[in-house]
Copies of this chain bind each other. A is one copy, B any other.
Amino acid sequence: MQSVPGGQVLNNFLGSAQIFTSAVDDLMTQQLRAITGDEVTYSQLKLLKMVSLTDGYSVSNVAQFLGVSTAAASRAVDRLVRRGLVNRVEAEEDRRAVALSLTDKGTELLARYDAAAGEALNQVFGDLATEQLRGMSDLLDRLSVSIVQREEAGAQVCFRCGIHFRDRCLLRRQASRTCFFHLHRKAETPDAEEHGNGLHEGRKRKAK
């Protein structure tokens, strides 16, 4: 069949990545369920997270973030509003758009989830050398860049990291993607460490 030398190694690697993300996904979903029961789905939690970290809402941005259509995003917001977790009012700058914010209930739920998720991640990754993590991040990022660059996709807004916003992302720097979080994060979002390379380019309230 396919005769790449090392094709089996590649297949194993793709399988490993698949298994790993699926396991992390399950771990997170499990924490969420422990906190909220069936009240909130993972996708809904992501939306809460986005609202808590950024101020760049609009149904279109929500849609890109969740990876669904604007129609679905509109309904997703609707559900959270009806459950009393987010507030939706029309934006002052542009009355076509919406302005979202967490309710007290939403804030509290997200805080409880973050605590549980952090605890679980510590148990799993706690005793792992940061050098190893850093090395894998770097290699994975380089591979991702080489994949993404094949798609011509000019200058899209990127949501690929899910909720794992980072200050230094190879996709943003090398594949000329526009990072949504970078543009829209809220002032209080903590900055990164990363070897003294301050890069405080962000830290601005957006300018829409």
Contact = CB atoms under 8 A, between A and B. Distances in A.
Interface in A94-142: 114, 117-126, 128, 130, 132-134, 136-137, 139-141
Interface stretch (A55-63, A79-87, A160-168): A160-168
Interface secondary structure of A, over-half rule = helix
Given A15-B162, A17-B200, 11 more contacts: A1-B114, A1-B194, A1-B195, A5-B130, A9-B130, A15-B165, A19-B141, A23-B144, A24-B147, A27-B150, A120-B150
A134 B121 CA distance: 24
A179 B26 CA distance: 18
B194 A122 contact: no
Query: What is the oligomeric copy number?
Result: 2
Interface residues on A, range: 35 or more
Contacts of A119: 2
